[in-house]
Amino acid sequence: MVELSFTRSTELSMGVELELQLVSLYHQNLAMEAADLLRRLEAGPHAGAVKPEITQAMIELNSGIHGGFESLRAELQSMRDTVADAARAAHVGVCGGGTHPFQRWNEQRIFPTERFASVSEQYGYLAKQFTVFGQHVHIGVANGDDAIYLCHALARFIPHFIALSASSPYYQGVDTAFDCARLQAVSAFPLSGTPPWLHTWEEFDAYYQRMVQLGIVRSMKDFYWDIRPKPEYGTIELRICDTPLTVQRAAELAGYLQMLVRALLAERKPLSRDVYLAYTVNRFRAARYGFDARLIDPVGAAETTVAEDILATLDELGPHAAALGGEPVLASLRRQVEAHDNDAAWLRARMAELGSLPDVVHAQVLRWQD
C-alpha cells in the first residue's frame, strides 16, 4: 500500500466549491443541460473552474486559492457573471439553494463519467436522490496532524454552518418544516457523518489503508463526512453547507470558517470525545429549526440556541477577524443571526408573497444574479 501523504499548503488559505441548479426558464423545473452549458464555458477563459456533478441538471463551481474574504468574493462574483451569461445563451437559468423545490429525483439522469457511473451502480436510487446542492469550503493547513485535530475541534460548530447556510426548506413539492432538508439525502450514505476518533495523521493513514484493503473505499472521495481532510490539497474540507442563494453569503461562510480555524489552532484546546455524544442530535436540530434549534453541550453540560452560540462565538473571534481582514464578515453574520435571516427564511417569504414554487425558483434565479 502507498502511504497517504498530506500535501503542505499555505496555512489559512481558502477556496470553495458551489453546486448549482440548472433550471428551465419556461417551467422552472430542473433542466438537464449541464453538458451544453459546460461546452459553452469551455469556449472562453474564465476564473476558477466549472465541472459536471452527479446528475445532468447540476454544475459545480470551483474557486481558486485565496488568502482572504474580499478576493474570494471578487472571484466568485466573476464566475457567477460568466456562468450566468453562458446560461442565458443556452436558455437556462442558474441558481443556488440546497434543494430544488419540486423536482422529482426519479426523473434525473446521471452525468456520463466513470466515477458517477460507479456511484450510481453502488448506491442505486440514492445516486439520483443526491440531486441536492451544497457548498464545500477548503481551508489550508500546515500538516496532517493539524487537519485531524481540526476535524474534531470543528465538530461543535457544525450546527452554526447548517443554520447560516440553510436554503432547502422545500423538497419534492412540499414545505418539509426543515430549514435544511438537503442533509437528509446526504445522511443516507453509509460513509456520511463524522470521521473516526483518531488524533494523528499516522493513525489516519493506517485507518485509510485498512478501509482500502477491505474494499470499503477506493479513494478519499468515498468518505461523505461532514468534514474531512483533503490530503492532495493540504486542506480540511467542510461539506455541511447548503449552497447559498448568493455568492456574498458563500464567501462569508468561507470567511467564518477561516476565522474559526485560526482561533482553534491558536488556542489548541484539548479535544473531548464527548462532543460526539450530542453530535447527531444537534445536527438534526439545526437542520430542522435553524437559528432556533436548542444545542446540547455535553462537555460543558449546558444548553443554548444556535443563534446564541453563534453570537457568543462572533464575540470571541474579533481579534482573528482583524488579523484576516474579516471584520465585514463578522458584522454581516451578526446582522443575519440577530434577524434570523437565512436563505430558508427568504424562500418561505417568497412563497408567501408569490404563491407558487415555480415563481419561487424564478426568484432564486434572479437573486443569484445580484
Q: Are 120 and 131 in contact (CB under 8 A)?
A: no
Domains with residue ranges and CATH for the chain: 14-368 (3.30.590.20)
Query: What region, left, alpha or beta, does residue 48 occupy, with left being phi > 0 and alpha being psi -120 to 50 degrees?
Result: left
pLDDT in tens, 160-180: 999 999 999 999 999 999 999
Given a cut of 70, whether residue 279 has pLDDT beyond it is yes
pLDDT at 1: 62
Q: Are 304 and 294 in contact (CB under 8 A)?
A: yes
**Bridging pattern class, strands 224-225 and 192-193:** parallel
The string of DSSP letters for 232-285 reads: TTTEEEEEEEEPPSSHHHHHHHHHHHHHHHHHHHHH-PPP-GGGGTSHHHHHHH
pLDDT in tens, 210-265: 999 999 998 999 999 999 999 999 999 999 999 999 999 999 999 999 999 999 99
Q: Is the pTM of this model over 0.85?
A: yes
Over residues 326-346, mean pLDDT: 97
pLDDT at 2: 65
Buried b (16+ CB within 10 A) or exposed e, 276-301: eebbeebbbbbbbbbbebebbbbeee
Residue with cell 415563481: 359
